[in-house]
Amino acid sequence: DAEITQSPRHKITETGRQVTLACHQTWNHNNMFWYRQDLGHGLRLIHYSYGVHDTNKGEVSDGYSVSRSNTEDLPLTLESAASSQTSVYFCASQQGGVTDTQYFGPGTRLTVL
């Protein structure tokens, strides 16, 4: 079955380190998204992509970057991890139509010490 996976599921890192979270989908969806979920803030969009080599900033993009070299993957990089980036990160994908449904991965819990 087609699916969307994230790795690692849990990560502990230190302040200042670079961290990359992986997201892989097998639906051949054009659109992919990264969100963070924090208590009291719901889901906030970090970056998104509408296709290969396309990337766009969301509402909380500072300190994060993404690249889209193929359809299946959208890795999220924290350039220099900060304690404020401790959160649960969700990747999502969607076919390209405006009425299409977004499907979410299982999440990555990141702790920055």
Positions that interact with another protein (CB under 8 A): 31, 33, 40-43, 45, 48, 50, 58, 90, 92, 94, 96-107
Distance of CA 99 to the CA centre of its chain: 21
Smaller CB separation from another protein, 18 or 58: 58
CB of 31 to another protein, least distance (A): 4
Nearest-approach distance from CB 10 to another protein, in angstroms: 10
* Cβ(53)–Cβ(31) below 8 Å: no
Phi/psi of residue 85, nearest 5 degrees: -95, 5
**Nearer Cβ to another protein (81/90):** 90
Which among 38, 36, 83, 84 is positioned nearest to 59, based on CA atoms? 36
Taking the complex as a whole, the smallest distance from the CB of residue 107 to another protein amounts, in Å, to 5
How many CB atoms are closer than 10 A to CB 101? 9
The first and second tokens of residue 82, run together, are 């900060």
Q: In this complex, which beta carbon is closest to another protein, that of residue 83 or of residue 102?
A: 102
Token pair belonging to 91: 């990747």
CB of 78 or CB of 91, closer to another protein: 91
